[in-house]
Structure 1
Amino acid sequence: MRELTTDHISQQFNAELETLRQHFLTMGGVVEKQVSDAIQSLLEGQGDLAEEVKAKDKTVNQLDALIDEECTRILAKRQPAATDLRMILSIGKAVSELERMGDEAKKIANHALKLINEGESPRGYVEISRIGQMVTSMVRESLDAYARLDIDLAVSVAKADRKVDLEYKTAIRSLITYMMEDPRSIGPVFNVIWILRSLERIGDHSRHLCQHLVYLINGVNVRHVPTEELEALATEDKKV
């Protein structure tokens, strides 16, 4: 496990940084469960589980506000530099990605409830299962990368997003064709399409999470770097 934090004269400063990190990982765990539960609620027809996903949105928002307040307080009080500053800035941005993942999980739960209450869609569940598995793995591994400061895992997750995008485009084309052939399916299939869209967006946010981690570790801004160039820049040695 890589270590980036430094020992400060103020033990309180060390404690503040560790608390910030732990709160971030706690929020990540809540969001990860939100995403997996949202998918499960649809595939297994569990309306109660979908309602639990929606209820967790309040917890995610509370943690978002708490972490934002902690980042602001540390910046104002400690005036951190170098690695410490990058950690705070990186976590501040990464938290926004987690909050948006939670929003997308809530959307999935809402559409799942519609499908459960109105009857299953005739198509799209296989695609949701397949893409859902890919995306939940991305969320889990992006958080593991942050916990272990594992830049290789971060790069791997970022690359996986391309596969999700390809699967998403293929699924959408298939579902649109199906709706054209059977207009009666338009209502339920549209709910499936919106779920797939949310899954694709969660994959994007997982990729962004890993890009923020690269910045934390190496000080390289790869937010707008093409995926094929990411690995070279991410592993570039930087003195901090």
Structure 2
Amino acid sequence: MPDKHLSTQFDSELNTVSTLLMEMGGLVESQIRDAIAALSHFSGDLASQVMAREEKVNAMEIEIDEDLTSIIGRRQPTARDLRLLMAISKTTANLERVGDEAAKIARMVRSIIDSGNSRNLPTLELRVASDLASGLLNKALDAFARLDVNAAVTILKEDDLIDQEFDGFVRKLITYMMEDPRLISPSLDLLFLAKAIERIGDHSKNIAEFIVYVVKGEDIRHQAMDKIESLIR
């Protein structure tokens, strides 16, 4: 991930923490995949597996933070090196939150299964949004590994697609609840589940913003897309 440094040991430390970050990302991605599969098949077993992995994700966040604190304290990096370490820290925090959202999806799936109304709910559109969110996180991690700012900008644009899917799903869910009041309770579970999926897209977008911060030294949060694209050019 990082460029070569004068200090070979510093290079090694950066590579080690970067590798750990990608391992954490892979674990979180597996949580999302299984959470989506649990939703698709209304599988309580898969949902339980997702929730069980949450503890490992939390432990990896702590381990990475400790490594970063040690590196910064001993090496006192500056400029791009410091930005990279800060971006790794922020990306780690976002991955932990994605893991939380995956566990939340799993809990909602269990709740819907317990309600006995799973077959009557409109889950197809939600699976489309889930696939978009999962794919976006994968792209964000790949772009971070390569520090690819062009890929980062593409990710920022694609997050809008997830938002559109969410808005459309909410409208359809409201229609279902109006047509059959018995579906209100499980539909609310599905609504919270949809919001968790949308947040996965938001966290992927955050990771993309960190890439631009590392490479360009600019904080692009809350900036218009045309200004971001001008900065990249």
* Superposition TM-score, scaled by structure 2 size: 0.95
CA contact (8 A) 1:42 1:113 kept: no
TM-score, length-scaled by structure 1:
0.92
- Contact 2:2 2:14 (C-alpha < 8 Å) held by counterparts: no
Bigger shift: residues 20-29 or 117-126: 117-126
Task: Name the counterpart of 1:55.
Answer: 52
From 197, 200, 204, the counterpart of 2:198: 200
CA–CA distance in structure 2, aligned partners of residues 97 and 226 of structure 1 = 22
Q: What's the counterpart of residue 17 of structure 1?
A: 14
Structure 1 stretch 111-120 or stretch 196-205: which is displaced more?
Answer: 111-120
Q: For the residues of structure 2 that align with 1:54 and 1:142, how far apart are their CA atoms?
A: 23
Using the TM superposition, give the Cα deviation of residue 11 of structure 1 relative to its aligned residue in structure 2, in angstroms. Answer: 2.2
Q: CA deviation at 1:114?
A: 1.4
Deviation at 1:178, TM superposition (A): 1.9
Deviates more, 1:202-211 or 1:181-190: 181-190
Deviates more, 1:54-63 or 1:172-181: 172-181
Aligned to 1:6, the other structure's residue is in SS state coil
> Is this contact kept in 1: 2:101–2:196, CA < 8 A?
yes
Distance between the aligned counterparts of 1:25 and 1:124, measured in 2?
A: 34
Q: What is residue 122 of structure 2 aligned with on the other side?
A: 124
Matches within 5 A, 1:115-154: 115-119=112-116, 120-154=118-152
* Residue 23 (structure 2) pairs with residue 26 (structure 1): yes
Counterpart check, 1:43 vs 2:40: yes
Structure 1 distance, partners of 2:230, 2:17, is 30
Whether 1:181 aligns to 2:179 is: yes
1:218 — aligned with what? Answer: 216
**Partner Cα separation in structure 2 for residue 47 and residue 181 of structure 1:** 28
Question: Do the aligned partners of 2:2 and 2:15 also contact (CA within 8 Å) in 1?
Answer: no
Aligned equivalents of 1:193, 1:199: Cα separation in 2: 10
Q: 2:158 maps to what in 1? A: 160
Matched, 1:75 2:72: yes
Unaligned ranges ≥5, structure 1: none
What letter corresponds to residue 60 of structure 1 in structure 2? V
Write the distance in 1 (CA, Å) between the matches of 2:227 and 2:127.
Answer: 30
Gaps of 5+ in 2: none
Q: Aligned residues, how many?
A: 232
Q: Distance in 2 between matches of 1:33 and 1:100?
A: 14
Cα-Cα RMSD: 1.3
Cα offset for 1:227? 3.3
